[in-house]
Amino acid sequence: MTTLALITDATSLDDDYDMPPLRDACQALALDVRICNWDDPDQDWSRFSHVVLRSPWDYTRRPDAFLDWCAHVSKVSRLVNPLPAVRWSLDKHYLADLARAGVAVIPSTFIESKASAQTMLDAFLQAHPGLDELVVKPTVGASSRNVRRFLRADAMQALQHAETLLDAGHSVILQPYLASIERQGETDLVYINGIYSHAIRKAALLARDGTTNAPTLGFLSACEATATERALASAALQAASRTLGLDAPLLYARVDLIHADDGQPQLLELEILEPSLSFPLAEGSAMRFAQALAGLK
């Protein structure tokens, strides 16, 4: 019998706007589900047939403990999405794998040490001579935390932010700031069991004054993904599937895209760990997800 744990954490459940419609849809299908904190020491995970990651968003503060927990759960139950997908996608170095596989990823330069930070930043700016603004972000992160945008003229500040992240033990990514996001937003495409479900337009989160917004519902609206966006999302999912050696589609995935100056979409993120799926904005989507849960083997 399917007994499901829907995983959150003590501080994130209130922000998880997908959980109420998902819980209702599961109830309507008479699924046996329980909402649990991933770090609950009293939980016996073996009593669940499947443990489904939904909003354990505080893992970014202690990713090693979270991965250890995922590994434990994978031994005594079935983790959804599976452990290899979780491990690989927790760290945005996966973007380099996808770029190597031919996916149109936002050009990304990775900085691994403070000693190389200045050189990497100089090389990045040289490689993008016409660029007015750049983005500096940690490779492990969520909810835009520590993602910042800088003017080229403020490259010293960009370097300082990178160094602060490196000091805190992060690797760092430099990307061109894709300004189309201010006109068109970011497009997030949601897939359930490998099938396109719906898409969301997410307004720009990095303000001109350097402040960063979390992706709360007010920044989101329903939209339809274009054929070009869907083609890129499929290519990213297929490349991920090949890289991970998966033999079945992932139960859930969100593919986030921004358009480059030439109008073509580029991959911002492939969210296969714990993405918000914007169920409140897409009629029927929570039920499609619950039906996918009901079909878990």
Q: Kindly state whether residue 292 participates in binding ligand ADP, applying the rule CB under 6 A.
A: no
Question: Cβ contacts of residue 78 below 8 Å, gap of 6+?
Answer: 49, 50, 51, 296
Query: Which of ligand ADP, Mg ion, none does residue 147 bind (CB under 5 to 8 Å by kind)?
Result: ligand ADP
213's CB contacts (< 8 A; 6+ apart) are: 144, 205, 206, 207, 219
Q: How far apart are CA 293 and CA 229, in angstroms?
A: 26
Nearer to ligand ADP, 9 or 293 (CB): 9
177 contributes a contact to ligand ADP by CB under 6 A: yes
Kindly tell me which of 16 and 269 has the beta carbon lying closer to Mg ion.
269
Q: Which is nearer to ligand ADP, 35 or 151 (CB)?
A: 151
Nearer to ligand ADP among residue 21 and residue 176 (C-beta): 176
Binding-residue total with Mg ion (CB under 5 A) = 1
Q: CA-to-CA distance for 104 and 184, rounded, in angstroms? A: 18
Q: Which of residues 187-206 bind ligand ADP (CB under 6 A)?
A: 202, 204-206
> Does residue 143 belong to the site contacting ligand ADP (CB under 6 A)?
yes
The mark string for 260-279 relative to Mg ion (x by CB under 5 A, - otherwise) is ---------x----------
Q: Contact with ligand ADP (CB under 6 A): which of 268, 273, 282, 286? A: 268
Residue 204 binding target from Mg ion, ligand ADP, none, CB below 5 to 8 Å by type: ligand ADP
Mask for 209-248, x = binds ligand ADP (CB under 6 A):
----------------------------------------
Query: Residues, the chain, total?
Result: 297
Q: Give residue number: closest CB to ligand ADP.
A: 205
Q: At what angle do helices 19-28 and 285-294 cross, to 10 degrees?
A: 60
Give the residue, chosen from 70, 181, 190, 273, that forms a contact with ligand ADP under the rule CB under 6 A.
181
CB of 144 to Mg ion, least distance (A): 7
Least separation, in Å, of the C-beta of 56 and Mg ion? 16
- 19 interacts with ligand ADP by CB under 6 A: no
- Minimum distance from residue 213 beta carbon to Mg ion (Å): 12
**Positions 95 through 124 that interact with ligand ADP (CB under 6 A):** 106
Which parts of this chain interact with Mg ion (CB under 5 A)?
269
Q: Which residues bind ligand ADP (CB under 6 A)?
A: 106, 135, 137, 141-145, 147, 175, 177-178, 181, 186, 202, 204-206, 256, 258, 268-269
